[in-house]
Amino acid sequence: MEESINSKKQQAIDACNKVINGIEDENISVQSALLTCRKIARLVNDQDGMLWLKYEAEGYPHTNDGHIETKAFHIGVHHGRGYVNDGTQCMYTDTCSSLENDVVNAKIAMGNFSTQGFAPSGDYALQATQRMTQSVAAGTSSYITKASTASRKLSILKSEYYNYAIEWLISLSFSDVAGSVFDEYQDKVSKYLSDFPTETLQKVNAIDDYFHEGNPEAYAQVMTSCRRLWADIARVLFNECFPNKPNKYHTVSGIDIDVSGDHIINKLSAVIESWSGKATKNTLTGSESIYLVDWMENLNDLQNTGVHSEVTREEARRCILQTYIVLGDILELRESAKNKDAE
C-alpha cells in the first residue's frame, strides 16, 4: 500500500516536471500540458483540480437557455478565462485544442492568400490587380487577428497549467522534506521517551490504537490519552528537576506559581524555565520559552475538547502531533541540560 502511494507520488512529480520543463523549453503543446495536468490531479486526488481540468478539456457546460452554468462560470473566471465586455463579466469557452487548431489553420490560410500567378490583362487590368491586392490584404488581416486572439488566449491557459504544475511540485517536494524531518525528529523523541516508565509508554500505544479505530468516541479517547501522557511526563520531569517537590515556584519575573498537585502547565513552565538556563546551547530562551508555554496552554485546551464534545479525526490528529512536538521540545531541552551538568 505504501509502495503504491509512493509510486503515485513519484508519477505526479514526474508529470509536474514534464509540464514545467515542456512549457519552459517550448516543446510541449498546450493540449498536452492540459492532459498531463489532468494526470497530476488524478494522482494527487485533487477533486477541485479534476473538475476544472475536465471543463478545460471537454468544454464548459451550459444551461438549457445557453448560459454557462454558474459553478462552471466561476471556475473558468478564476482560472484566467474572464474578461469584461461593456461592464459585464464574461468568459471565453474555447478549448485549448480548438485554439491551437485556430492558430494552425490561420497560418495555413494566410499562406494560401497570394497574388502570385495572378496576371490580368486588358483595359481593367489595373483595377483587377488593385481589387485582388485589397482582397488578399483583407483576408490576411482577418486571419492575423484570429491567430493573434487565439494565441493570446492560449498563453493565458498555458500560464494556468504551468502554475498548477508548479504548485503541486512544490507541495509534493515539501511533503518529502517534511516527512524526512519528522522521521528524524520522531527517532530522537522516541529515544527520549524510552527512559520513561512502562506505564507511560503504554499510553503512547493506546493513542495509536484509538486513532486507528476511526470513530468519534475513539478520537475522544485519543484526547484523553494525550492528556494522561502529558500529565505523566510532566510529573516525572518536575520530580526530576525539583526532587524536593515544592508547592510554589518563584519565576525569574518575580511571580510565584502553584506547582502542587495537578497544576501540570505550571509544573512544566517551571521545568522549562529551570532547564533553559542550564541548556548547553541555551536551547530555549526568552520569547521561545514563552512561546512553548503558550503552545502548552493551547494544547491543554485542545486535549480537553474530548471531554466536552464530539471529536473529529482532524482534531485528534492535530492533538497527537502537537503533543508529540511540544513534548519533543521539552525532552530535547532536558537532554541539553543534562549534557551541561555533565561537563
Spans of the chain below 50 pLDDT: 1-3, 113-126, 128-129, 132, 136-137, 282-290, 306, 308
pLDDT for the residue numbered 69 = 94
Compute the CA torsion angle 290, 291, 297, 300 (nearest 10 deg). Answer: -130
pLDDT for the residue numbered 111 = 55
Compute the CA torsion angle 99, 100, 106, 111 (nearest 10 deg). Answer: 180
* pLDDT, tens digit, 9 for 90 and up, residues 130-175: 554 555 445 555 656 677 788 888 888 999 999 999 999 888 877 6
Compute the CA torsion angle 231, 237, 242, 243 (nearest 10 deg). Answer: 100
